[in-house]
Chain A
Amino acid sequence: MSKNTHETDATGGLKGFLARRREGLMHGVFAVAACVSIICVILICVFLFGNAIPTLREIGLLNFLSGTTWRPGNDIYGILPMILGSIYVTAGALVVGVPIALLTSIFMARFCPKRILRPLTAAVNLLAGIPSVVYGFFGLTVMVPMVREHLGGNGNSMLTASLLLGMMILPTIIGVALSSIRAVPESYYEGSLALGASHERSVFFVVFPAAKSGVMAGVILGVGRAIGETMAVIMVAGNQPRMPKGILEGVRTLTTNIVMEMGYASGMHRDALIATAAVLFVFILIINFSFSMMKRRSEK
């Protein structure tokens, strides 16, 4: 620590001593501030897992994860329907969102006329800023009736949730994919042109594959967003706690399970909801981990 404060030695005497003390003190304050984020993560883990593990022990981890019935009234807690619900809805969101997002990022990187680029970038950024309740409200008032009229069912369905989440993850994926496509050295593109490939072929078969780790990182980030999204899904998914039946039927995800029932739950029921959040948290940790692996690989 003292090495960092040698600049003040010049003043010498009492004043220098005080200055050194102040430097040392603030160094400590900065270090403590840096530790706050560590403390937060530890607290979150302790409180989530500390509450969830006794519950899981009581219910039995396997029963909890593979139970197909969620009936808190009868003390039956199986979250497989919600796990599948989250996975299906997220997969649906990827089917909808990934192609559009990747093609849009290719467009923005290599096809976009200069005049359009700025408004397009602004639109994508603003799309990222729109609150999830507003997305949810749009889904509720526009997409649910649309699905109901044209495709049947009551509109609150897996399909609607997937479509809405697909829209919501667009800016996330575009942001990461775009910067990794832009980071591909220009020589790749030029080399391909020199070999006689067209602009389109060069971009798609040379530049884009070179950016694939970064693009994957973007997709994984999108998965994290989709699986963690709560408010928008709750407004359009129907939220029935049963095994997912079909894409036009209602579905409940891990996140919505918590919000739906936390308000009135008590005792074991409440603990089971906290355990649901712990399961979600583990999912997210895995996704985060793969995201940073991918990012590291793309930076190499």
Chain B
Amino acid sequence: MSEKTLRARRRRDPLSVFLRVIVWLAALITVGVFVALVGYILIKGVPNLSLDLFQLKYTSDNCSMLPAIFNTIYMTLLSLVVAVPLGIFSAIYLTEYARRGNKLVKVVRLTTETLQGIPSIVYGLFGYLFFLVQLQWGYSLLAGAMTLAIMILPLIMRTTEEAVLSVPDGYREGSFALGAGRLRTIFRIVLPTAIPGILAGVILAIGRIVGETAALIYTAGTYAQTADSLFSPVRTLSVHMYVLSSEGLHIDQAYATAAVLLIVVVGINALSAAVAKSIVKRRG
């Protein structure tokens, strides 16, 4: 029997055909979900975009999302200011200082794994209990940002760790051989080399922040104007989106807001993927 007929017979095997059909079907469904979701939101949302939605002040007539966009930017910056240095420093400790079998490292890994699995509503409730009830901050930009900082910390730690670990040991050895101390080696050699990886992680974290709702409703509140201090109650774009759709009064504006949110978040994620890919290319 020639190889060709053998292969043909294998193709006709009904079970094999069935299996091939179902994997193609599953992949089609996955793509279909993506296309349906993105397509529907964009088709319904983009035509509803209007200048009214980008007024400086929010009123119940114009449903402007511009204040929410500003708030989202403040929220993102504030969370990153707290979480990025902490995440990078702790990743440095884990990779550059801790020895093999260090007890602290094991505990830190366990806790970051735990933090990563906690649902955002639990973060939100914790933020409410700690920042609002215990520290008496009230619904505020700051309380929301701190809650989100805790939430994105494990993400930044993990991506930084991966990035730092991928810096070749030869770089460090070269730096030590030239007489640089450990600290100088880290800040002048290791971190600059690892920056693209760290950046990809930070961008991913930004995506998480922009898309977050449940952790913010009871920490930052739902007040629709632009923040004027750290202690102003604010609503970010995602919370704005949720409030609009649950009120159900301004469904067209809700579509438009959803489209903007989707474009921003998908854009951020694509950017992160592009940055990560540029590293692979450079290394490759």
With A104-B26, A131-B261 as contacts: A126 and B245 at CB distance below 8 Å: no
Name B107's contact: one of A38, A103, A230, A281 (CB within 8 Å): A38
- A47 and B23 within 8 A (CB): no
- A30 and B211 within 8 A (CB): no
Query: What total of A-B pairs shows CB separation below 8 Å?
Result: 270
Consensus secondary structure, chain A interface: helix
Residues of A139-176 whose CB lies within 8 A of B: 140-142, 167, 170, 174
- B212 and A33 within 8 A (CB): no
Q: Mark A228-256, 1 if CB is under 8 A from B, else 0.
A: 11110001000000000000000000010
Name B245's contact: one of A43, A136, A204, A230 (CB within 8 Å): A136
**Least CB separation from A31: chain B residue:** B93
With the chains together, A224 CA to B44 CA distance in Å? 32
Residues of B244-271 whose CB lies within 8 A of A: 245-246, 251, 254-255, 258, 261-262, 265-266, 268-270
With A40-B115, A124-B30, A288-B113 as contacts: A131 and B10 at CB distance below 8 Å: no
Name B182's contact: one of A7, A38, A131, A229 (CB within 8 Å): A7
Name B153's contact: one of A23, A37, A273 (CB within 8 Å): A37
- Which of the segments A58-66, A67-75, A183-191, A193-201 contacts the partner chain? A193-201
When distances are taken between beta carbons in the complex, the residues of chain B under 8 Å from A288 are: 113-114, 117
- Which of the segments B54-62, B73-81, B119-127 contacts the partner chain? B119-127
- A107 and B121 within 8 A (CB): no
When distances are taken between beta carbons in the complex, the residues of chain A under 8 Å from B85 are: 33
Residues of B136-175 whose CB lies within 8 A of A: 150, 153-154, 157
Interface size, B (range):
35 or more
**Least CB separation from A262: chain B residue:** B218
Consensus secondary structure, chain B interface: helix
Interface centre among A41, A170, A204 (most CB of B within 10 A): A41
- B182 and A140 within 8 A (CB): no
With the chains together, A178 CA to B169 CA distance in Å? 30
With A33-B86, A174-B30 as contacts: A281 and B266 at CB distance below 8 Å: no
24 contacts between A and B (CB under 8 A): A4-B182, A7-B176, A7-B182, A10-B179, A33-B89, A37-B108, A38-B108, A107-B27, A112-B27, A127-B30, A127-B34, A128-B269, A129-B268, A133-B258, A134-B41, A134-B265, A137-B254, A200-B13, A200-B15, A201-B16, A224-B117, A231-B213, A255-B121, A258-B125
> Contact residues of A with B, CB < 8 Å?
4-5, 7-8, 10, 19, 22-23, 26-27, 29-31, 33-38, 40-41, 43-44, 47-48, 51, 99-104, 106-108, 111-112, 120, 122-138, 140-142, 167, 170, 174, 198-201, 203-204, 224, 227-231, 235, 255, 258-259, 262-263, 273-274, 277, 280-281, 284-285, 287-288, 291-292
The 4 residue pairs across chains A and B that have the minimum distance between CB atoms:
A228-B119, A131-B211, A103-B26, A33-B89
Since A23-B181, A134-B211, A199-B16 are in contact, a sample of 15 more A-B pairs with Cβ atoms closer than 8 Å, ordered by chain A residue number, is: A7-B182, A33-B85, A33-B92, A51-B129, A107-B24, A122-B273, A126-B266, A127-B37, A128-B269, A129-B211, A131-B212, A132-B214, A167-B33, A224-B117, A259-B217
